[in-house]
Amino acid sequence: MSLALKGIKKTYPDFTIDVSVTAQKGELLTLLGPSGCGKTTTLHIIAGFIKPDKGDISINGKIVNALPPHMRRTGLVFQDYALFPNMNVSGNIAFGLQMLGWNRTDINNRVEELLHLIRLPGYGKRNVTELSGGEQQRVALARALAPSPGILLLDEPLSALDARLRKDLRRDVKRIQRELGITTVYVTHDQEEAFAISDKIAVMNDGRIEQTGNSFEIYNRPETRFVAEFVGTTNSIDAQVAGKTGMIYELKSLCGRFNVKFQGELTAGLKVSLLVRPEKCVLLDKGRTEKVNNYSNIVEGMVSNLEYLGDSTIIEVKLKNCVFSAKIPGTVPIDTGETVRIGFNPDDCWLI
């Protein structure tokens, strides 16, 4: 089933939701953003728990604003799983099917099918209070999938788990979503999680969607300062447009002159922010093999901090009006207080 939110608005005394977004049949759409940005409220509007003030919710091309939650064919996995502690695993998975009037044989067959899907065969008689957090998450997912919903809604389903288990279970979520071909809306504040599982990401901030795109587009070409700063780490240098040669704009700033490849027209004197990711930067001195002439953009400053991460080192350099970071593979033969040069290419930076 496809999903479309068109001009959805919901106003609270101190907050307003204003969202338009779509998910195609079989697509996994992630609502990504900080706590309090409206992700869960948007999910509850889709589910029918919250009625919007304006706009339309369409499922498979049919407006469902007036339909109650149980008639929208959506399955919801809550952040805290919300399993019934007085029931065993089979009872939790079967609950929705019993409410729909399924017969016992069909219920038992469906429960067994789902236990294999979530990789918990033989767990039917176990009490849910005896399960680990990851196992409870799987049971909650199976319960949501039991009635064969057209759209699956997941509200921060992995947030209560440790980092390693989150990585394992997000693979399970992606596998199950792919196997079933079910349209899914996934809510998270974790950008790594969003990049790993999503077909499409909608970055939310203060009740609005700042940008929608795939993982590559969101990370490599953010359209707003919020997206650039929320997703990953980004260096930002204040500059002015000085001129243009072909598709290359020349910028001037307190930190020097820079070139950037940019599609579009910018007028001379326009104030812009030059953005570049730390991993796109190279160290040009201290025995590194990179040649200076391969990098037309160069910043120079004193090393203010070093962070060794095992596979790489983060170098922070003080410039005239900001701190600039570079992520260099392996170790680097420098110390804090030294002056270094860092280079990056016109193709690896962008403007806002």
Domain spans, the chain: 3-230, 235-351
Q: Where are the beta strands (DSSP E) in the chain?
A: 3-12, 15-23, 28-32, 54-59, 62-63, 74-77, 151-155, 183-188, 200-205, 208-213, 235-245, 248-253, 256-261, 271-276, 282-283, 297-308, 312-318, 323-329, 339-344, 349-351
* CATH match of 235-351 with 2.40.50.140: yes
Eight-class DSSP state of 219? H
pLDDT score, position 299 = 93
Which distant-in-sequence residues (6+ apart) come within 8 Å of 128 by Cβ?
Answer: 83, 84, 85, 87, 88, 89, 92, 136, 139
Strands, sheet with 256-261, edge to edge from the N-terminal-most edge strand: 256-261, 248-253, 235-245, 271-276, 349-351
pLDDT score, position 289 = 45
CA distance 96 to 267: 60
pLDDT score, position 247 = 86
At 219, list the tokens. Answer: 């990370």
Angle made by CA atoms 252, 253, 257, in degrees to the nearest 5 = 45
pLDDT score, position 52 = 97
**CB-based contact 23:200 (threshold 8 Å):** yes
Which distant-in-sequence residues (6+ apart) come within 8 Å of 265 by Cβ?
Answer: none
CA distance 208 to 185: 16
CA distance 30 to 186: 5
Kindly report, residue by residue over 327-349, the tens digit of the pLDDT: 999 988 899 999 999 999 999 99
Eight-class DSSP state of 133? H
CA distance 56 to 7: 7
**CB-based contact 270:240 (threshold 8 Å):** yes
Do 235-351 and 3-230 fall under one CATH topology? no
* CATH match of 3-230 with 3.40.50.300: yes
Query: Which of 232, 233, 235 has the alpha carbon at shortest distance from 321?
Result: 235
pLDDT score, position 286 = 58
pLDDT score, position 81 = 82
Neighbours of 23 (CB within 10 A): 22
Q: Which residues of the chain have pLDDT under 70?
A: 286-294
